[in-house]
Amino acid sequence: MTPSPGGREFAQAAGEMERLKTDTIPPINESFDAERTIGIMFDFDSYWSYITMPQAKRWNYGEFLRRWYAAAARLGLQVRIVHPEREWPADLKLLIVPGVQGFDEKLAQRLHDYADAGGHLLLTCRTGLMNRDGHLWEGPIASPIVTLIGARIEAYDSLPDGASGQVDIIDGGKHGWNVWGDLLYAEEGTKVIAKYSDQFYAGAVAATQRKHGKGMATYSGVYADQSYHDAIVEKLARQCKLHSVPLPDRVMVYQRGPYSVCLNYTDKSITAPAPRGAKFVVGSAKIEPAGVAVWEV
């Protein structure tokens, strides 16, 4: 029997997997390296709410989540998806809460406790806007997180089709935005890390950061281009002292037990981001287009 191209690839993958010490690879939901892993919170109720009432024509919650996920993957970081009502690993150094709109007192307290204990929170626009019944709070916008972020959300806006603006991250360059932008007023003791740089919003605060207990809370009020999300996550990864390695576009690295797995989805050969002296179990330091390399760590 003559194998098809897919059959040959299947046989190759099976042979490569036989070289791995599979008894040392924990299940994916148990594999966790605190120096390389961040958390991203996903709330299905918020997802449903955005589908039914997006409020902004170009608001796409799935794409918003993917931009934060891609920003972490670009740095070679692993991502643990966490649920607002379930336990998450206590030793996560960075937890991103992207647009989790429906809040209750229990979730607000858990986030306060997480930061108090030394964790770094990244909260984004549309986080905490409503209670679990879909009602706006009586009081400031996003009342449950105001004391956490040390800033007041005065208003929010989105730009019409064909229009875009610029947001300037301090020490992080200028980036485009158009989907959603919060207008923030930072309280005393809160650091401004990004501002709008043109149009009506020029000079207004777009992102803030504040110490909270032993940890930190960063608030990003913008749904912007991918480069903005990349720059924010890279900045926070440095602050959290995460073990990150910037990767080219369409290159991914996964950590499974004692192995690092690098996938090259580009059309060019790349050099694996492996430490000097790494022992390659599959492939080599040069990874061909659509190739893979696995090394022990």
Q: What confidence tens digit (pLDDT) does each residue in 137-167 have?
A: 888 999 999 999 999 999 999 888 888 999 9
What pLDDT does 24 receive? 62
What integer best gives the mean pLDDT of the chain? Answer: 90
Residues 90 and 118 in one domain: yes
Report the alpha-carbon distance of residue 208 to residue 104 in Å, rounded. 23
- pLDDT (tens digit, 9 = 90+) per residue, 99-126? 999 998 899 999 999 999 999 999 999 9
Do both 95 and 198 map to the same domain?
yes
Residue 180 has pLDDT above 90, yes or no: yes
Angle at 127 between CA 125 and CA 132, to 5 degrees: 150
Query: Do the beta carbons of residue 244 and residue 234 sit within 8 Å?
Result: yes
Percent residues over pLDDT 70 in the chain: 96
Please report which confidence band the pLDDT of residue 14 belongs to, taking 50, 70 and 90 as the band edges.
confident
Domain that holds residue 276: 5-28+247-296
pLDDT at res. 113: 95
Shared domain for 160 and 111, answered yes or no, is yes
Q: Worst-scoring range by mean pLDDT, 217-226, 227-236, 237-246? A: 237-246
Same domain (yes/no): 230, 266: no
Same domain, 174 and 41: yes
Residue 31 clears pLDDT 70, i.e. is over it: no
Final residue before a domain boundary, out of 223, 239, 255: 239
Q: What is the CATH number of the domain that holds 263?
A: 2.60.40.1180
User: CA angle, 114 as apex, 105 and 133 as ends, to 5°?
Assistant: 25
**Cα(21)–Cα(290) distance, rounded to whole angstroms?**
24
Task: List Cβ neighbours of 165 (8 Å cut-off, separation of 6 or more).
Answer: 159, 176, 177, 178, 181, 196, 197, 198, 199, 201
Q: Which CATH number covers residue 66?
A: 3.40.50.880
Quickly count: other Cβ atoms within 10 Å of residue 229's Cβ.
Answer: 26
Percentage of the chain exceeding pLDDT 90: 64
Domains contained in the chain, number: 2
Task: Compute the average pLDDT of residues 80-94.
Answer: 91
Its pTM stands at 0.88
pLDDT of 22 > 80? The answer is: no
The residues near 148 (Cβ < 8 Å, ≥ 6 apart) are: 108, 111, 112, 115, 121, 123, 210, 212, 217
Q: Are 269 and 108 a contacting pair, CB within 8 Å?
A: no
Say if CB 135 and CB 129 are below 8 A apart.
no
Tell me, yes or no, whether 68 and 192 share the same domain.
yes
Kindly state whether residues 234 and 276 are assigned to the same domain.
Answer: no
Query: Is 90 exceeded by the pLDDT of residue 169?
Result: yes
Spell out a b/e string for 271-290, using b for 16 or more CB atoms within 10 Å of the CB, else e: ebbbeeeeeebbbeeebeee
